[in-house]
Protein backbone atom coordinates (compact mmCIF):
# COMPACT_ATOMS: atom_id res chain seq x y z
CA UNK A 1 0.00 0.00 0.00
CA UNK A 2 2.91 2.34 0.71
CA UNK A 3 4.20 1.86 -2.83
CA UNK A 4 1.16 3.76 -4.28
CA UNK A 5 1.68 6.98 -2.28
CA UNK A 6 4.15 8.65 -4.71
CA UNK A 7 1.93 7.84 -7.67
CA UNK A 8 -1.18 9.29 -5.97
CA UNK A 9 0.76 12.41 -4.98
CA UNK A 10 1.92 13.02 -8.57
CA UNK A 11 -1.63 12.57 -9.87
CA UNK A 12 -2.94 15.09 -7.38
CA UNK A 13 -0.35 17.66 -8.33
CA UNK A 14 -1.09 17.17 -12.03
CA UNK A 15 -4.82 17.71 -11.42
CA UNK A 16 -4.14 20.86 -9.45
CA UNK A 17 -2.01 22.27 -12.23
CA UNK A 18 -4.65 21.41 -14.77
CA UNK A 19 -7.37 23.15 -12.78
CA UNK A 20 -5.42 26.40 -12.47
CA UNK A 21 -4.51 26.68 -16.20
CA UNK A 22 -7.01 28.66 -18.35
CA UNK A 23 -8.79 26.55 -20.89
CA UNK A 24 -8.60 29.21 -23.62
CA UNK A 25 -5.92 31.86 -24.42
CA UNK A 26 -7.25 35.41 -24.35
CA UNK A 27 -7.00 37.56 -27.45
CA UNK A 28 -4.59 39.91 -25.72
CA UNK A 29 -2.09 37.12 -25.02
CA UNK A 30 -2.26 35.93 -28.63
CA UNK A 31 -1.54 39.43 -29.89
CA UNK A 32 1.63 39.53 -27.78
CA UNK A 33 3.15 36.68 -29.78
CA UNK A 34 4.16 38.15 -33.13
CA UNK A 35 5.10 36.14 -36.18
CA UNK A 36 8.71 37.40 -35.98
CA UNK A 37 9.27 35.46 -32.76
CA UNK A 38 8.41 32.10 -34.31
CA UNK A 39 11.68 30.09 -34.54
CA UNK A 40 12.20 28.09 -37.75
CA UNK A 41 12.79 24.41 -37.16
CA UNK A 42 16.38 23.22 -37.70
CA UNK A 43 17.18 21.50 -40.98
CA UNK A 44 20.17 19.58 -42.29
CA UNK A 45 20.53 17.50 -45.44
CA UNK A 46 23.18 16.08 -47.74
CA UNK A 47 23.02 17.15 -51.36
CA UNK A 48 23.95 13.60 -52.42
CA UNK A 49 22.92 10.21 -51.07
CA UNK A 50 26.34 8.67 -51.59
CA UNK A 51 29.81 9.69 -52.76
CA UNK A 52 33.11 8.03 -53.59
CA UNK A 53 36.46 9.34 -52.36
CA UNK A 54 40.03 8.07 -52.74
CA UNK A 55 41.85 6.80 -49.69
CA UNK A 56 44.28 9.17 -47.97
CA UNK A 57 42.42 12.18 -49.34
CA UNK A 58 40.05 14.69 -47.82
CA UNK A 59 37.05 16.73 -48.90
CA UNK A 60 34.34 18.97 -47.46
CA UNK A 61 31.08 17.07 -47.15
CA UNK A 62 28.23 18.24 -49.45
CA UNK A 63 25.64 19.31 -46.89
CA UNK A 64 23.21 22.20 -46.28
CA UNK A 65 21.77 23.54 -43.02
CA UNK A 66 20.08 26.59 -41.53
CA UNK A 67 22.16 26.18 -38.39
CA UNK A 68 25.72 26.77 -39.65
CA UNK A 69 28.37 25.96 -37.10
CA UNK A 70 26.00 23.84 -34.98
CA UNK A 71 25.88 20.59 -36.95
CA UNK A 72 27.42 17.53 -35.30
CA UNK A 73 28.98 14.79 -37.47
CA UNK A 74 29.64 11.15 -36.69
CA UNK A 75 31.24 8.27 -38.59
CA UNK A 76 29.97 4.71 -38.36
CA UNK A 77 33.57 3.43 -38.63
CA UNK A 78 36.40 5.84 -37.82
CA UNK A 79 38.98 3.34 -39.00
CA UNK A 80 37.67 3.98 -42.53
CA UNK A 81 36.89 7.71 -42.36
CA UNK A 82 36.67 10.48 -39.78
CA UNK A 83 34.91 13.84 -39.95
CA UNK A 84 35.93 17.12 -38.33
CA UNK A 85 33.60 19.55 -36.56
CA UNK A 86 33.48 21.66 -39.70
CA UNK A 87 32.43 18.78 -41.96
CA UNK A 88 35.77 17.91 -43.54
CA UNK A 89 36.09 14.19 -44.18
CA UNK A 90 39.41 12.34 -44.11
CA UNK A 91 39.36 8.99 -45.90
CA UNK A 92 41.76 6.60 -44.17
CA UNK A 93 41.35 3.23 -45.87
CA UNK A 94 39.22 1.37 -48.40
CA UNK A 95 35.68 0.51 -47.24
CA UNK A 96 32.12 1.84 -46.85
CA UNK A 97 31.07 4.12 -44.04
CA UNK A 98 27.93 6.05 -43.09
CA UNK A 99 28.32 9.67 -42.04
CA UNK A 100 25.52 11.11 -39.88
CA UNK A 101 24.85 14.82 -39.54
CA UNK A 102 22.55 16.07 -36.74
CA UNK A 103 21.41 19.44 -35.40
CA UNK A 104 18.62 19.73 -32.78
CA UNK A 105 15.83 17.41 -34.00
CA UNK A 106 17.07 17.21 -37.63
CA UNK A 107 19.37 14.51 -38.96
CA UNK A 108 20.66 13.19 -42.27
CA UNK A 109 22.89 10.35 -43.46
CA UNK A 110 25.42 9.97 -46.27
CA UNK A 111 27.06 6.78 -47.53
CA UNK A 112 30.74 7.19 -48.36
CA UNK A 113 32.61 4.66 -50.48
CA UNK A 114 36.35 4.93 -49.83
CA UNK A 115 38.07 3.57 -52.94
CA UNK A 116 41.74 2.84 -53.70
CA UNK A 117 43.79 5.86 -54.78
CA UNK A 118 44.54 6.04 -58.45
CA UNK A 119 48.18 5.71 -59.44
CA UNK A 120 49.90 9.09 -59.30
CA UNK A 121 50.65 10.21 -62.84
CA UNK A 122 53.39 12.72 -63.66
CA UNK A 123 55.18 13.99 -66.75
CA UNK A 124 58.94 13.94 -66.26
CA UNK A 125 60.87 16.57 -68.21
CA UNK A 126 63.70 19.03 -67.43
CA UNK A 127 62.43 22.28 -65.90
CA UNK A 128 64.88 24.30 -68.01
CA UNK A 129 66.86 23.78 -71.20
CA UNK A 130 69.63 25.85 -72.80
CA UNK A 131 70.04 26.48 -76.51
CA UNK A 132 72.48 28.61 -78.50
CA UNK A 133 72.35 30.24 -81.90
CA UNK A 134 76.02 29.80 -82.77
CA UNK A 135 75.83 26.01 -82.98
CA UNK A 136 72.15 26.08 -83.98
CA UNK A 137 71.70 22.87 -82.05
CA UNK A 138 68.27 21.48 -81.26
CA UNK A 139 67.13 19.88 -78.00
CA UNK A 140 64.76 16.90 -77.72
CA UNK A 141 62.42 17.20 -74.75
CA UNK A 142 61.84 13.42 -74.47
CA UNK A 143 59.07 13.59 -71.84
CA UNK A 144 58.04 10.47 -69.96
CA UNK A 145 54.72 9.76 -68.27
CA UNK A 146 54.80 7.47 -65.26
CA UNK A 147 52.29 6.20 -62.72
CA UNK A 148 53.70 5.37 -59.31
CA UNK A 149 57.15 5.31 -60.87
CA UNK A 150 56.20 2.95 -63.71
CA UNK A 151 56.60 4.45 -67.17
CA UNK A 152 53.58 4.40 -69.49
CA UNK A 153 55.16 3.57 -72.84
CA UNK A 154 51.85 4.16 -74.66
CA UNK A 155 51.51 7.80 -73.55
CA UNK A 156 51.32 10.46 -76.25
CA UNK A 157 52.17 14.16 -75.92
CA UNK A 158 51.39 17.48 -77.52
CA UNK A 159 53.77 20.48 -77.49
CA UNK A 160 53.35 24.24 -77.65
CA UNK A 161 55.73 27.21 -77.57
CA UNK A 162 54.33 30.39 -76.04
CA UNK A 163 56.55 32.41 -78.39
CA UNK A 164 57.77 30.57 -81.51
CA UNK A 165 59.85 33.62 -82.52
CA UNK A 166 62.27 32.74 -79.67
CA UNK A 167 62.14 28.93 -79.83
CA UNK A 168 59.84 26.60 -81.73
CA UNK A 169 58.88 23.01 -80.91
CA UNK A 170 57.54 20.43 -83.37
CA UNK A 171 55.18 17.48 -82.92
CA UNK A 172 58.08 15.23 -81.87
CA UNK A 173 59.16 17.59 -79.06
CA UNK A 174 62.28 18.89 -80.87
CA UNK A 175 63.07 22.46 -79.78
CA UNK A 176 64.83 24.80 -82.24
CA UNK A 177 66.32 28.18 -81.20
CA UNK A 178 65.28 31.24 -83.24
CA UNK A 179 66.56 34.30 -81.34
CA UNK A 180 67.91 35.11 -77.88
CA UNK A 181 65.42 35.22 -75.04
CA UNK A 182 63.37 32.95 -72.80
CA UNK A 183 60.13 31.20 -73.64
CA UNK A 184 57.81 28.75 -71.88
CA UNK A 185 57.13 25.40 -73.56
CA UNK A 186 54.00 23.45 -72.59
CA UNK A 187 53.76 19.65 -72.74
CA UNK A 188 50.40 17.89 -72.35
CA UNK A 189 49.26 14.30 -72.08
CA UNK A 190 45.58 13.83 -71.37
CA UNK A 191 44.73 16.11 -68.45
CA UNK A 192 48.36 16.37 -67.32
CA UNK A 193 50.54 19.40 -68.09
CA UNK A 194 54.24 20.16 -67.64
CA UNK A 195 56.20 23.31 -68.45
CA UNK A 196 59.79 23.79 -69.61
CA UNK A 197 61.64 27.09 -69.75
CA UNK A 198 63.75 27.35 -72.90
CA UNK A 199 66.58 29.88 -72.55
CA UNK A 200 68.21 30.82 -75.87
CA UNK A 201 71.74 32.30 -75.89
CA UNK A 202 74.04 33.51 -78.64
CA UNK A 203 76.71 30.99 -77.69
CA UNK A 204 77.45 27.96 -75.54
CA UNK A 205 81.02 27.82 -74.22
CA UNK A 206 82.62 24.37 -73.95
CA UNK A 207 86.41 24.92 -74.01
CA UNK A 208 89.00 27.36 -72.63
CA UNK A 209 89.68 28.53 -76.16
CA UNK A 210 86.00 29.36 -76.72
CA UNK A 211 85.96 31.31 -73.46
CA UNK A 212 89.02 33.35 -74.51
CA UNK A 213 87.46 34.09 -77.89
CA UNK A 214 84.24 35.14 -76.22
CA UNK A 215 86.16 37.62 -74.03
CA UNK A 216 88.44 39.09 -76.69
CA UNK A 217 86.24 39.52 -79.74
CA UNK A 218 83.93 42.40 -80.58
CA UNK A 219 80.85 40.29 -79.93
CA UNK A 220 81.00 41.23 -76.26
CA UNK A 221 81.67 44.95 -76.61
CA UNK A 222 79.84 47.91 -75.18
CA UNK A 223 77.01 49.35 -77.29
CA UNK A 224 75.51 52.82 -77.42
CA UNK A 225 72.34 51.45 -75.86
CA UNK A 226 74.27 50.51 -72.73
CA UNK A 227 72.92 46.95 -72.60
CA UNK A 228 74.58 43.55 -73.03
CA UNK A 229 74.54 42.80 -76.74
CA UNK A 230 75.70 39.19 -76.51
CA UNK A 231 74.62 36.27 -74.33
CA UNK A 232 76.71 33.21 -73.51
CA UNK A 233 76.44 30.36 -71.05
CA UNK A 234 79.01 27.89 -69.70
CA UNK A 235 78.07 24.38 -70.77
CA UNK A 236 80.59 22.57 -68.53
CA UNK A 237 83.57 23.13 -66.20
CA UNK A 238 86.73 24.60 -67.74
CA UNK A 239 90.32 23.76 -66.76
CA UNK A 240 93.02 26.19 -67.92
CA UNK A 241 95.86 23.96 -66.76
CA UNK A 242 98.50 24.28 -69.49
CA UNK A 243 96.36 26.82 -71.38
CA UNK A 244 97.29 30.51 -71.59
CA UNK A 245 94.52 32.69 -70.25
CA UNK A 246 94.01 35.74 -72.41
CA UNK A 247 91.54 37.79 -70.44
CA UNK A 248 89.92 40.76 -72.04
CA UNK A 249 92.20 43.27 -70.34
CA UNK A 250 95.65 41.69 -69.98
CA UNK A 251 97.19 44.16 -72.41
CA UNK A 252 97.75 47.74 -71.16
CA UNK A 253 96.99 49.12 -74.62
CA UNK A 254 93.44 47.84 -74.28
CA UNK A 255 92.74 49.78 -71.10
CA UNK A 256 90.15 52.01 -72.72
CA UNK A 257 86.41 52.54 -73.02
CA UNK A 258 85.93 49.60 -75.38
CA UNK A 259 84.51 47.60 -72.51
CA UNK A 260 83.34 44.07 -71.96
CA UNK A 261 79.57 44.20 -72.30
CA UNK A 262 77.83 40.86 -72.33
CA UNK A 263 75.71 38.46 -70.29
CA UNK A 264 77.60 35.44 -69.03
CA UNK A 265 75.71 32.68 -67.20
CA UNK A 266 78.10 30.28 -65.47
CA UNK A 267 75.27 27.78 -64.79
CA UNK A 268 77.03 27.04 -61.46
CA UNK A 269 80.07 25.56 -63.20
CA UNK A 270 83.77 26.05 -62.34
CA UNK A 271 86.61 27.72 -64.21
CA UNK A 272 89.92 26.74 -62.61
CA UNK A 273 93.72 26.94 -62.81
CA UNK A 274 94.09 30.36 -64.41
CA UNK A 275 97.54 31.96 -64.03
CA UNK A 276 98.44 35.45 -65.20
CA UNK A 277 102.11 35.49 -66.21
CA UNK A 278 102.68 39.00 -67.57
CA UNK A 279 103.05 40.98 -64.35
CA UNK A 280 103.61 44.34 -66.06
CA UNK A 281 100.07 44.87 -67.32
CA UNK A 282 96.61 45.11 -65.75
CA UNK A 283 95.19 41.72 -64.86
CA UNK A 284 91.54 40.79 -64.35
CA UNK A 285 89.10 38.10 -65.34
CA UNK A 286 86.70 40.33 -67.28
CA UNK A 287 88.52 43.62 -67.93
CA UNK A 288 86.46 46.79 -67.91
CA UNK A 289 82.81 45.90 -67.40
CA UNK A 290 80.07 48.19 -68.64
CA UNK A 291 76.54 46.98 -69.22
CA UNK A 292 77.63 43.50 -68.20
CA UNK A 293 75.86 40.69 -66.40
CA UNK A 294 78.02 37.90 -64.91
CA UNK A 295 76.53 35.35 -62.53
CA UNK A 296 76.37 31.81 -61.10
CA UNK A 297 80.03 30.78 -61.41
CA UNK A 298 83.05 29.78 -59.31
CA UNK A 299 86.68 30.54 -60.12
CA UNK A 300 89.19 28.25 -58.39
CA UNK A 301 92.97 28.55 -58.13
CA UNK A 302 93.35 31.84 -59.98
CA UNK A 303 96.82 33.40 -59.62
CA UNK A 304 97.60 37.11 -60.17
CA UNK A 305 101.21 38.31 -60.48
CA UNK A 306 100.74 42.04 -61.03
CA UNK A 307 100.09 44.93 -58.65
CA UNK A 308 97.64 46.15 -61.27
CA UNK A 309 95.13 43.40 -60.54
CA UNK A 310 91.39 43.32 -60.11
CA UNK A 311 89.94 39.98 -59.11
CA UNK A 312 86.81 40.23 -61.22
CA UNK A 313 87.32 43.32 -63.34
CA UNK A 314 89.81 46.09 -63.94
CA UNK A 315 87.01 48.61 -63.61
CA UNK A 316 83.24 48.54 -63.52
CA UNK A 317 80.73 51.26 -64.26
CA UNK A 318 77.04 51.57 -63.73
CA UNK A 319 77.07 54.73 -65.79
CA UNK A 320 79.29 55.58 -68.75
CA UNK A 321 79.20 58.93 -70.50
CA UNK A 322 75.51 59.84 -70.79
CA UNK A 323 74.23 56.26 -70.87
CA UNK A 324 72.95 54.57 -67.73
CA UNK A 325 74.01 50.96 -67.75
CA UNK A 326 73.98 47.96 -65.48
CA UNK A 327 77.11 46.12 -64.32
CA UNK A 328 75.98 43.14 -62.30
CA UNK A 329 77.88 40.36 -60.50
CA UNK A 330 75.80 37.77 -58.65
CA UNK A 331 76.48 34.36 -57.08
CA UNK A 332 80.23 34.34 -57.68
CA UNK A 333 83.01 32.64 -55.71
CA UNK A 334 86.69 33.43 -56.22
CA UNK A 335 89.60 31.44 -54.80
CA UNK A 336 92.49 33.81 -55.59
CA UNK A 337 96.26 33.73 -55.10
CA UNK A 338 97.94 37.12 -55.17
CA UNK A 339 101.44 38.52 -55.46
CA UNK A 340 102.21 42.08 -54.39
CA UNK A 341 99.38 44.34 -53.29
CA UNK A 342 95.85 43.60 -54.49
CA UNK A 343 93.37 45.95 -56.12
CA UNK A 344 90.28 44.19 -54.82
CA UNK A 345 87.34 42.59 -56.55
CA UNK A 346 87.66 45.49 -58.99
CA UNK A 347 90.56 47.89 -59.24
CA UNK A 348 88.42 50.97 -59.88
CA UNK A 349 84.77 51.10 -58.88
CA UNK A 350 82.47 53.53 -60.68
CA UNK A 351 79.27 52.06 -59.33
CA UNK A 352 77.78 48.65 -60.02
CA UNK A 353 75.79 45.86 -58.35
CA UNK A 354 77.31 42.92 -56.47
CA UNK A 355 75.18 40.32 -54.74
CA UNK A 356 76.33 37.09 -53.06
CA UNK A 357 79.99 37.47 -54.03
CA UNK A 358 82.70 35.78 -51.93
CA UNK A 359 86.46 36.05 -52.45
CA UNK A 360 89.16 34.13 -50.59
CA UNK A 361 92.62 35.69 -50.95
CA UNK A 362 95.73 33.57 -50.35
CA UNK A 363 99.35 34.75 -50.72
CA UNK A 364 101.96 33.19 -52.94
CA UNK A 365 104.75 31.53 -50.93
CA UNK A 366 103.12 32.58 -47.66
CA UNK A 367 103.97 36.27 -48.10
CA UNK A 368 101.91 38.88 -46.26
CA UNK A 369 101.22 42.36 -47.59
CA UNK A 370 100.58 45.71 -45.94
CA UNK A 371 97.87 46.81 -48.36
CA UNK A 372 95.15 44.46 -49.50
CA UNK A 373 91.90 45.93 -50.82
CA UNK A 374 88.64 44.08 -50.52
CA UNK A 375 86.41 45.91 -52.95
CA UNK A 376 88.57 48.44 -54.83
CA UNK A 377 91.67 50.61 -54.81
CA UNK A 378 89.61 53.58 -56.00
CA UNK A 379 85.89 54.27 -55.91
CA UNK A 380 84.18 57.11 -57.74
CA UNK A 381 80.50 56.71 -57.24
CA UNK A 382 78.95 58.16 -60.37
CA UNK A 383 75.74 56.30 -59.65
CA UNK A 384 74.52 54.49 -56.56
CA UNK A 385 75.99 50.99 -56.55
CA UNK A 386 74.48 48.13 -54.59
CA UNK A 387 76.60 45.81 -52.47
CA UNK A 388 74.65 42.98 -50.88
CA UNK A 389 76.21 39.96 -49.16
CA UNK A 390 79.77 40.60 -50.35
CA UNK A 391 82.49 38.85 -48.31
CA UNK A 392 86.25 39.16 -48.89
CA UNK A 393 88.58 37.10 -46.67
CA UNK A 394 92.29 37.83 -46.70
CA UNK A 395 94.93 35.34 -45.55
CA UNK A 396 97.53 37.76 -46.94
CA UNK A 397 97.49 40.30 -44.14
CA UNK A 398 95.35 43.24 -43.08
CA UNK A 399 92.57 44.23 -45.46
CA UNK A 400 90.59 47.43 -46.06
CA UNK A 401 87.47 47.75 -48.17
CA UNK A 402 88.38 50.78 -50.36
CA UNK A 403 91.67 52.65 -50.77
CA UNK A 404 90.29 55.96 -52.01
CA UNK A 405 86.64 56.99 -52.24
CA UNK A 406 85.08 60.01 -53.89
CA UNK A 407 81.33 60.41 -53.87
CA UNK A 408 79.54 62.79 -56.19
CA UNK A 409 76.36 64.72 -55.36
CA UNK A 410 76.03 62.96 -52.03
CA UNK A 411 75.67 59.52 -53.59
CA UNK A 412 77.67 57.71 -50.94
CA UNK A 413 78.06 53.97 -51.38
CA UNK A 414 76.32 51.85 -48.77
CA UNK A 415 78.96 49.38 -47.56
CA UNK A 416 76.96 47.94 -44.66
CA UNK A 417 76.72 44.60 -46.48
CA UNK A 418 80.38 44.58 -47.58
CA UNK A 419 82.46 42.51 -45.15
CA UNK A 420 86.26 42.57 -45.60
CA UNK A 421 88.16 40.64 -42.94
CA UNK A 422 91.40 38.84 -42.19
CA UNK A 423 89.60 36.59 -39.70
CA UNK A 424 88.49 33.22 -41.02
CA UNK A 425 86.00 32.90 -38.18
CA UNK A 426 84.43 36.23 -39.07
CA UNK A 427 84.23 35.32 -42.76
CA UNK A 428 82.50 32.07 -41.81
CA UNK A 429 80.14 33.98 -39.52
CA UNK A 430 79.07 36.38 -42.25
CA UNK A 431 78.59 33.53 -44.68
CA UNK A 432 76.32 31.61 -42.34
CA UNK A 433 74.25 34.72 -41.64
CA UNK A 434 73.99 36.06 -45.17
CA UNK A 435 74.12 33.28 -47.75
CA UNK A 436 71.65 30.65 -48.96
CA UNK A 437 72.62 27.14 -47.83
CA UNK A 438 71.20 25.66 -51.04
CA UNK A 439 73.91 27.41 -53.09
CA UNK A 440 76.83 27.77 -50.66
CA UNK A 441 78.91 25.47 -48.48
CA UNK A 442 78.68 27.05 -45.03
CA UNK A 443 80.65 26.17 -41.91
CA UNK A 444 81.48 28.05 -38.68
CA UNK A 445 85.20 27.46 -39.32
CA UNK A 446 85.60 27.79 -43.10
CA UNK A 447 85.27 30.54 -45.67
CA UNK A 448 82.02 30.09 -47.67
CA UNK A 449 82.43 28.41 -51.04
CA UNK A 450 79.94 27.86 -53.82
CA UNK A 451 78.06 24.63 -54.45
CA UNK A 452 78.69 23.89 -58.13
CA UNK A 453 76.95 21.37 -60.31
| 132-184 per-position pLDDT tens digit | 999 888 999 999 998 766 788 999 999 999 999 999 999 999 999 999 999 99
Q: Residues 233, 293: one domain?
A: yes
Q: Residues 236, 219: one domain?
A: yes
Give me the residues of the chain with pLDDT under 50, please: 1-36, 224, 248-258
Overall number of domains in the chain = 3
Q: Residues 87, 142: one domain?
A: no
3-state helix/strand/coil string of 178-205: CCCEEEEEEEEECCEEEEEEEEEECEEE
Q: Residues 228, 259: one domain?
A: yes
Cα gap 257→223, rounded to integer Å: 11
What CATH number does residue 69 fall under? Answer: 2.60.40.1080
Q: Residues 152, 259: one domain?
A: no
Q: What's the gap between Cα 11 and its chain centre?
A: 82
Q: Is residue 34 part of a domain?
A: no
Residues 276 and 336: beta-carbon distance below 8 Å: no
Q: Residues 92, 180: one domain?
A: no
pLDDT at residue 11 in the model: 41
pLDDT at residue 48 in the model: 92
| Domain final residue pick, 148, 182, 200 | 200
The range of the structural domain enclosing residue 131 comes to 121-200
| Domain final residue pick, 61, 84, 115 | 115
Q: Residues 85, 131: one domain?
A: no
pLDDT at residue 353 in the model: 87
What's the pTM value of the predicted model, to 2 decimals?
A: 0.70
Residues 72 and 101: beta-carbon distance below 8 Å: yes
User: 193-218: b or e for each residue (b if 16 or more CB lie within 10 Å)?
Assistant: ebebebbbbbbbbeebebbbebbbee
Q: What residue spans of 197-306 are helical by DSSP H?
A: 208-216
| Domain final residue pick, 74, 94, 115 | 115
Cα gap 124→259, rounded to integer Å: 43
Amino acid sequence: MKRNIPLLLCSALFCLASCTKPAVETSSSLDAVSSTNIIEAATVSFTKQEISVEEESQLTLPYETNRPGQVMFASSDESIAVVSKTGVLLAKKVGDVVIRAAVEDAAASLTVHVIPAKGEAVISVPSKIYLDLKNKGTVALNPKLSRDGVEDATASFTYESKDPTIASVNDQGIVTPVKTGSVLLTIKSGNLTANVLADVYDEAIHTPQEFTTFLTTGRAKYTAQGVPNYRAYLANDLDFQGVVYEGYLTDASRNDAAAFSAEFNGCFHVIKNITFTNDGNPQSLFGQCIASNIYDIAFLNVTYTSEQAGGLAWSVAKKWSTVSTGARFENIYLDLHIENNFGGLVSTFYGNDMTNVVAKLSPLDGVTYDTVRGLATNAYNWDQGILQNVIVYSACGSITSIGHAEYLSGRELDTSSLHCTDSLTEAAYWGMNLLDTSRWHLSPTECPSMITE
